[in-house]
Amino acid sequence: MNDPSQHVVDPSVLPEEIVLELPDLGQDPLMPDKMDDHADDVQISFQLISALSPHLKSLIQKLVNGDEGSAFGVSSDGLAEYAKELLMLAVLTETDQQLNAIREGQEEILAYLVQKDKSELKGDLNFLTSILTDFKYNWSNSQYKRSHHTKVLDIRHSADQKIDFYREQVKKKLKKKVGWRADKDIKDQLQRVLQAFKNYQFALYMFAFSSFVDVLLLGNFEAGYLNGVAERIKRYIRDYQDLYHKSLERLEGYLMASIETSALKGLAGASQAAGKTIAKIPVIGEKQLNESLIEGGEKLKDMASERTIQSMQPFLEVGKDYSQPFVENVKMLKDLHSGEWDFFIDQENLYLRKKKKE
């Protein structure tokens, strides 16, 4: 990070209205020398990249250079727009930095969908990702936002419906009576439940993703609205996790009750009991024989446990939470528009720091 003190602006040389008309940027927003004492507090920093409008870049450069020329002939409305632009730049920079993590999550979650579903759903996923990638070039383009918004709402509505559908599918498959059946029958049922969970997980991810993109396109950063968006996603995540943990318990019970697993457990018990019985008979109480039988029983128990673990392993993937990052993104939007940040500008960078509580 560049040293913010390299290009210090003396606030006394700035027209008074410049400082007063930028309240959303925090107190004394153009005094980078203050960052010397608070460098460790900086949460966000980024270069003044090309996403800035030429007018704002020009204004910033002249403010930083102490130029009192024509840059200060800016209307109050213009300054308010500049404040919004700096906030949006912060939002886009933070979002852009998370794109790689978002893409990694997409690859993982898509890998567990069957090819037919994957082909159908990848189009919507690519559409949302492209908006997130290109938004920094179109955030002030009303036509772009309007033309893409309807499609995003359709994706969110479809995902919402699929969440309900696949949730009921999981419940229905779990309620099916299992009884005393072979491992293969149990595993077939597990596979059906697993596939329903994968679809449920992806629907939840698409709902969270489209909800975040909807906020960006709509441009409503009012705290109450953003809280509502975040809480709804969080509620859906909790519902998913609750059903997931209840399902694990039931599925494990099905596996432990299968014929092969029960037989192994029965043999284990019989082997251990035989070893202990032989040890009590003076004539044939050979130490090596009874210890071998007891040890064999332990191994059979381990085999039964290992079979259960192997069968349950695929369910670990559907337990991952890929949707929480979008909750954090919505919260980040709320924080950046809360007026609780100080903005500091030097020649090349913009720094954001949480305001200190009085």
Q: With cut-offs at 50, 70 and 90, classify the pLDDT of residue 177.
A: low
Interatomic CA distance for residues 257 and 188, integer angstroms: 15
For residue 303, the model assigns a pLDDT of 41
Q: Which of 56, 62, 63 is nearest to 81 (CA)?
A: 56
Higher-scoring residue by pLDDT: 268, 88: 88
Identify which has the larger pLDDT, 8 or 205: 205
- Return the number of other C-beta atoms located less than 10 Å from residue 91's C-beta: 23
Write down the pLDDT at residue 20. Answer: 23
Of 31, 37, 36, 34, the closest CA to residue 14 belongs to 31
Closest CA to 236 of 199, 201, 192, 196: 201
- pLDDT on residue 232: 97
pLDDT at 235 over 70: yes
pLDDT of residue 151 exceeding 80, the answer is: yes
The predicted structure's pLDDT at residue 179 = 54
Among 311, 334, 293, 203, CA closest to 253: 311
- pLDDT tens by residue, 312-340: 677 777 888 889 889 988 988 887 777 66
Largest pairwise CA distance in the chain:
110
Predicted pLDDT at 280? 43
Any idea which of 151-165, 170-184, 328-342 has the lowest mean pLDDT?
170-184
CB 55 within 8 A of CB 75: no
State whether residue 50 is helix, strand or coil.
coil
Mean pLDDT of 103-124: 71
Secondary structure (3-state) at 352? strand
Please list the alpha-helical segments (H only) found in the chain: 16-20, 54-64, 76-111, 115-138, 142-175, 183-218, 223-256, 259-280, 287-312, 324-336
More confident residue, 251 or 31: 251
Is-above-0.85 flag for pTM?
A: no
The three-state secondary structure class of 38 is coil
Indicate the residue type of 297.
G
pLDDT at 82 (0 to 100): 57
In sequence order, what are the beta bridge partners of 351? 45, 344
**Lowest-confidence range among 28-42, 108-122, 177-191?**
28-42
Residue range 190-212: mean pLDDT, rounded? 91
Q: What is the pLDDT of residues 21-56, one digit of tens each?
A: 233 333 344 444 444 444 444 444 444 444 455 555
Share of the chain above pLDDT 70, in %: 44
Structure tokens at 273: 């009991």
What pLDDT is stored for residue 195 in this prediction?
87
